[in-house]
Amino acid sequence: MSDRFEHERGLVWFRTDLRVHDNTALHRAVQACHSIAGVYIACPETWQSHDEGDNLVAFRLACLRELQESLGERNIPLYFLELKRFDQVPEAMAQIARKLEVSAVFANAEYPVNERQRDEAVRQALKQVDIPIEYSTDRTLVPPGAIKTNSGDAYKVFTPFKRAFIDQCGGGDFSPLPAPRKREPADWPSWLQVKAEENLRQTIPATVAGYDAVAQKDGKLLGWEPGEKAGLRRLREFEENIDAYEDERDYPAIDGTSKLSPYLNAGALSVRQCVHMALECNRGRWKGGSEGIDCWLSELIWREFYTHLIVAYPRLCKHKPFKPETEGVPWSGDELAFRRWCKGKTGVPIVDAAMLQLEKTGWMHNRLRMVVASFLTKNLLIDWRWGERYFMNQLIDGDFASNNGGWQWAASTGTDAAPYFRVFNPYSQSEKFDRHGEFIRHFLPQLKKLSDKEVHCPPPTEGYPPPICDVKETRKKAIEAFADLKG
C-alpha cells in the first residue's frame, strides 16, 4: 500500500446515493483507501420503510444496476446483500466489513428518524469490530441543523430559512466532486466465496423481493428512464429551458419543470450538481439574476428546508402534525370518497386528471399536488396522512421529507405561514392554470368534446361522474372545523 492512503481496503455503503459522480462518501473512500468495494443492503423495510411503492422501488433498482456497471468499469465491485429485517442491518454490516477485511466504511447520511437510528446502531456494531464508519453530508447542501435562528432554534417558516440559508451558506463551494478513475483490479472475493454465509452477491438478482418491474418494462418505467446517465442528460436538457422556469412552471400542460425529482430522490443525481448548474448559469448568484433560475434555486431550498425540518422535529417522521392542535381536526374517515379521489373519479376534472397523471406516470405536477391535496384535506376533510401514504405508494419521486412537508402545508397542519382558511378552489385553479383544458383532455378523453369553458366544470357527461361535493359548502365546513380548533 502506498503511504498516500490511510487504509488498505475500504467499503462504501450505498443507500439513496446511487451514482458515481459527485458522491461524497465514494469520493472520501477514494481519497482514503488503496482499494474499495461497495455494498448495497436490501430488505423489505429498506424498500418500503415509508410506504414506498413498486414504481419507486423499480426505479431505484434500475439505478442500482447502472451503478453496478459504472463501478465495475472502474474495477470497484458492488456487493448486494438481502436481509429479512431492518434490525439485522447493524450486525450484517459488521460481518460484511470483517469478511471483506476492510478497515473503514463510508456512507452518506440519511435523515428520517428510523434511518438515523439504524445508522447509529451500525456505528456501534462496527465499533465492536474496531472499524470506523464515516457519514458524510451529501443529500442536502449543508448539514441539517447548520442553519439556526439568532436564538439557536431551527427555522419553522420557509422564507426566513431561505434568507438565512443564502446569507450563511450561499457563498459556499458547491462544485461537484469527480467520479473515481479506473483503479487497478484488486483481489476482492467473488460472491461465490461469501454467499453461503451471508447471501452476499456480486450481481444484483433479476428479481429482488418480487420486484421484476424493471426487467418487464425493458428498463423504462412509466416513460421514465432510470439511472445516473439519464439524470445527467435531463439536467443538461433542463439547463436549456431554465430561464423560462418561472413563467412556465405552474402550467401542467407545459413541460416547464425539470422533472429531476426521481433522480434526486434515488440519488442518481445530487442536489449539488443541480445547484452548480444553476449558479453557473446565474453568474454565481442565488437571487437577483435570471428570474427563472432564482425561482428554481428557491425550489431546491424548499427541498433543503423540509429535510432540515424532519431532523429538527423528529415527530414529523412519526406522522405527527407540525401544529399539535390540528390533531383534533374531525377528519371524516369516508373511505369511499377517498377511493374515488385515488382513482380520479371525484367528478372535478382537474383533480381527476391529476390523479390519473399520478397513476399513469408515477409523477404529478407540483401545482396539481397542491390542488389535489387541498381538495382531499379541505373539501373532503380526509386526514392528510391518507393522502401522504397514497402518494408515497404511487410516486416514482417519493421522498419522505418533501412529501410530508407538502401534505402538511396543504392541510394547514404544517409549517406554512398562511392561515388555515387558505383553501384552493379547484375550478378557478383549473381555469387559471389549464385554461384551454389541454391537460384535462389528455387524461380524461371523455371530456374532449366539451368547450374550453365547460371542461373545467362539465355538465352531465356520459362516462364522467357528477362532482363528489359542492366545493363552496365544503370549504366553509372545513374552515369552521379549523376555527373550532383554534377556539
Q: DSSP letter for 317, please.
A: G
CA trace torsion 200, 203, 206, 210 (10° rounding): 20
Q: Which is nearer to ligand FAD, 299 or 454 (CB)?
A: 299
Which residue's beta carbon is nearest to the bound ligand FAD? 406
Q: Does 370 bind ligand FAD (CB under 6 A)?
A: yes
Site membership for ligand FAD, residue 430 (CB under 6 A): no
Cell of 305: 428546508
Q: Minimum distance from CB of 264 to ligand FAD (Å)? A: 5
Give yes or no for residue 161 binding ligand FAD (CB under 6 A): no
Q: Which is nearer to ligand FAD, 10 or 53 (CB)?
A: 53
Write out the H or E segment, with its range, that includes residue 134. Answer: strand 133-136
The residue to which cell 461469501 is assigned: 194
Is 258 a binding residue for ligand FAD by CB under 6 A? The answer is yes
Q: According to CB under 6 A, which residues from 190 to 229 bind ligand FAD?
A: none
Q: Is 407 tagged catalytic? A: yes
Min dist CB 67 to ligand FAD, Å, is: 20
Q: Nearest approach, Cβ of 368 to ligand FAD (angstroms)? A: 9
Q: Pick the catalytic residue: 188, 341, 363, 384?
A: 384
Feature table: binding site: 245, 257-261, 296, 299-306, 397-399
Extract the annotated binding site for FAD.
Answer: 245, 257-261, 296, 299-306, 397-399
Catalytic-residue membership of 384: yes
Choose between 18 and 447: whose C-beta lies nearer to ligand FAD. Answer: 18
Nearer to ligand FAD, 93 or 301 (CB): 301
- CA dist., res. 58 & res. 207, Å (int): 10
Q: Are 180 and 26 in contact (CB under 8 A)?
A: yes
Nearest to 394, CA basis, from 138, 55, 19: 55
Residue 371: what residue type? Answer: V
- Please identify which residue in 261, 394, 412, 474 interacts with ligand FAD, judged by CB under 6 A: 261
- According to CB under 6 A, which one of 265, 377, 430, 474 is a site residue for ligand FAD? 265
Shortest spacing between CB 375 and ligand FAD, in angstroms: 11
Give the strand order in the sheet containing 104-108. 133-136, 104-108, 7-14, 33-42, 78-82, 200-201
Look up cell 428498463; give the residue: 219
Residue 408 Cβ vs ligand FAD, minimum distance, rounded to whole Å: 9
Q: Does 259 sit near ligand FAD (CB under 6 A)? A: yes
Q: Considering only the stretches 24-32, 33-41, 256-264, 339-347, report the one whose residues sit in contact with ligand FAD under the rule CB under 6 A.
A: 256-264
Catalytic residue, candidates 114, 241, 366, 393: 366
Cβ proximity to ligand FAD: between 79 and 338 the closer is: 338
CA distances in angstroms from 14 to 23, 115, 296, 443, listed in the order given: 10, 13, 28, 38
Residue with cell 446565474: 282
Q: Which of residues 290-349 bind ligand FAD (CB under 6 A)?
A: 299-300, 302-303, 306
Q: Rg for the chain (alpha carbons), in Å? A: 24
For 349, the grid coordinates are 376534472
Active site residue 366: yes
Contact between 376 and ligand FAD by CB under 6 A: the answer reads no
Q: Grid coordinates in use for 222?
A: 412509466
Q: Residues 415, 417, 420, 422: what is their CA dihedral angle, to the nearest 10 degrees? A: -120
User: ∠ CA(148), CA(269), CA(89), 5° rounding?
Assistant: 80
Nearer of residues 24 and 258 to ligand FAD, judged by Cβ: 258
Q: Is 140 in the site for ligand FAD (CB under 6 A)?
A: no
Q: Which is nearer to ligand FAD, 46 or 361 (CB)?
A: 361
Burial of 366 (0-12, 13-18, 19+ CB in 10 A): middle
CB of 232 to ligand FAD, least distance (A): 14
Cell numbers 383544458 correspond to 437
Give residues 381-420 in contact with ligand FAD (rule: CB under 6 A): 391, 395, 397-399, 402-403, 405-407, 410
How many contiguous H segments (helices) and E segments (strands) does the chain have?
21, 6
Q: CA dist 289 to 165, 292, 303, 341, Å?
A: 17, 8, 21, 41
Beta carbons of 225 and 199 less than 8 angstroms apart:
no
Binding-residue total with ligand FAD (CB under 6 A): 28
Closest separation between CB of residue 303 and ligand FAD, Å?
Answer: 4
Task: Decide whether 71 or 395 has the Cβ nearer to ligand FAD.
Answer: 395
Q: Which of 8, 134, 225, 299 is catalytic?
A: 299
Q: Which residues bind ligand FAD (CB under 6 A)?
A: 249, 257-261, 264-265, 299-300, 302-303, 306, 366, 369-370, 373, 391, 395, 397-399, 402-403, 405-407, 410
Q: Looking at the annotation, which residues are catalytic? A: 299, 302, 331, 366, 384, 407
